[in-house]
Amino acid sequence: MAKVVRKLREHWKKTVFFSSVAAFGASYWRDRRAEKAIETEFCRSAAEIGNELLAVASEPRSVAVLLNPFAGVGKCQTKFDSWAAPVLYLAGLKVDVVRSDTAGQTRALARVLEASDFGGLDAVVIAGGDGSLSEAVTGFLTRPDETPPAPIVFLPLGATNEFAKREKIGVEDIAKAAFAAVNGKQKALDVVKASVEDLWGAESRQPVYVMNGLRLGPVVDAEVDARRHWWWGSLRRHWTFFKTALRGRFDPVRVKIEFREPCAGCQACLNIGKKRRQENLSVMRSGSWWERWRSPVVVKASNDNEVDVDAFDTDCDLPWHTLELDIADLSVQLSDDGSLDVKVFRGCTSAWDFFSYGTASEDDRRNNLEMFKAGKVIVHPSVELVEAEDGGGLVEKEVFYYFDGEKYVVKPVVASVLRERVNFLTP
């Protein structure tokens, strides 16, 4: 034993190297074993459902999968085949997989997807990240009927999965999401509509629909750039913000923010709601006395102050508020109460401020943010002229929005909320 210890001490570099490799291999084997156990459990549950007898003349549930193989750094296809597909097939579902071949094709596929092409659909599964989900929802809501052909199931298989509200997506999260296509509960979710305005305040382009929101500023630029430095592992965020701060690429963006506070319902909404209920009541009371006796009208007592949600007018005469700020990070995110959470981090005064904020946790960041709620937001960013790197004169500084992680050229954008617009199947 003493000889072994002496040899290890003499060759300490080799000892450290092979010990690290052995520890990594043991950790990897343990994680894979745990994943296999979870896969087996979900597959067994799916097989029990798939072995149930169908009623006479009934068809198995049918789902169409819109899969983005480029999502998740090219690992979306592998994860879907390993973690989601077995659950869908063992549950007895009829599965049709439609793969996108180019960037942005998910939007075009969603726009032309019809349930009749598959003999009927019970769900549309979106396999990808937040960007793929945004493209699919935009495609669905820009159809002539402005409605998906079936409820949506989201498989978070991308590089960013903020919609799934998970920092790290594992096999259990994917399997649970796939199970929503089997026996999930239908739920209508809100959507953020982002419209580009021209100089006259009219929509100049087709709107983009997102499930999370939009961001702007050098902080999100660095966060997106950090995805490329995967070899840094858990330190890639620190390395990216250090590199960006060292190069001085954290200049703030000048923006003008116009916003209205969330509408909680006013007298106009109440009057519209009362008129609508009276119209519905008069329609129900129409017909012969025999029909009214056979199907009596039951009028539910309602509070006069009750607001008809469908009667909300987002363009009513609420006052506008204006802010002009130099921001390092601007976030307009969808809130659970149907409003927009606007979070602002003003321009950094030094490279250390930028690095500290970029590498801080969400709780620590919250202490440095200015936050308020809005029902509708208009963002007017100003584009500065900077010296070209090749010395060829002045050029416009590159500034981008990020709608659910997808990059868009900066233009004046109007963000509003569409309440309970898209139906999802949730576990």
Q: What is the CATH number of the domain that holds 155?
A: 3.40.50.10330
354 and 228 in a common domain: yes
| Domain termination site, one of 277, 311, 345 | 311
| Domain termination site, one of 244, 277, 311 | 311
Specify the higher pLDDT residue, 380 or 312. Answer: 380
Domain containing 278 equals 267-311
Statement: residue 313 has pLDDT above 70 = no
Statement: residue 144 has pLDDT above 50 = yes
Q: How do residues 172-192 score in pLDDT, each as one tens digit?
A: 889 999 999 988 899 999 999
Total domains present in the chain: 3
226 and 147 in a common domain: no
Residue 221 in domain:
yes
| Domain termination site, one of 311, 342, 369 | 311
Residue 326 in domain:
yes
215 and 104 in a common domain: no
Q: What's 365's domain CATH number?
A: 2.60.200.40
pLDDT value of residue 255:
92
48 and 160 in a common domain: yes
Q: How do residues 191-237 score in pLDDT, each as one tens digit?
A: 999 988 654 444 556 889 999 999 999 999 999 899 888 788 888 99
Q: How do residues 249-279 score in pLDDT, each as one tens digit?
A: 888 889 999 998 887 655 555 554 444 444 4
Statement: residue 410 has pLDDT above 90 = no
96 and 52 in a common domain: yes
Binned at pLDDT 50, 70 and 90, residue 282 comes out as very low
Q: Looking at residues 280-306, what average pLDDT do you find? A: 40
Q: How do residues 157-171 score in pLDDT, each as one tens digit?
A: 888 788 876 656 788
335 and 218 in a common domain: yes
pLDDT value of residue 91:
92
Q: What percent of the chain has pLDDT over 90?
A: 36
Specify the higher pLDDT residue, 318 or 341. Answer: 341
CA gap 250, 217 in Å, rounded: 8
Q: Looking at residues 111-131, what average pLDDT do you find? A: 90
302 and 380 in a common domain: no
Statement: residue 298 has pLDDT above 50 = no
Residue 374 in domain:
yes
101 and 67 in a common domain: yes
407 and 290 in a common domain: no
Specify the higher pLDDT residue, 47 or 205. Answer: 47
356 and 222 in a common domain: yes
Statement: residue 32 has pLDDT above 80 = yes
Mean of the per-residue pLDDT values for the chain?
A: 81
Residue 190 in domain:
no
Residue 346 in domain:
yes
Statement: residue 296 has pLDDT above 80 = no
Residue 397 in domain:
yes
Statement: residue 310 has pLDDT above 50 = no
Statement: residue 12 has pLDDT above 80 = no
Q: Contacts for 34-42 with beta carbons within 8 Å, 24 or more apart?
A: 35/170, 35/171, 38/170, 38/171, 38/172, 38/175, 39/82, 39/83, 39/86, 39/171, 39/175, 42/87, 42/172, 42/175, 42/176, 42/178, 42/179
pLDDT value of residue 285:
40
Residue 349 in domain:
yes
Q: pTM of the full predicted structure? A: 0.80
Residue 356 in domain:
yes
Statement: residue 243 has pLDDT above 90 = yes
pLDDT value of residue 271:
52
pLDDT value of residue 123:
93
Specify the higher pLDDT residue, 57 or 278. Answer: 57
123 and 136 in a common domain: yes
224 and 162 in a common domain: no
Specify the higher pLDDT residue, 299 or 377. Answer: 377
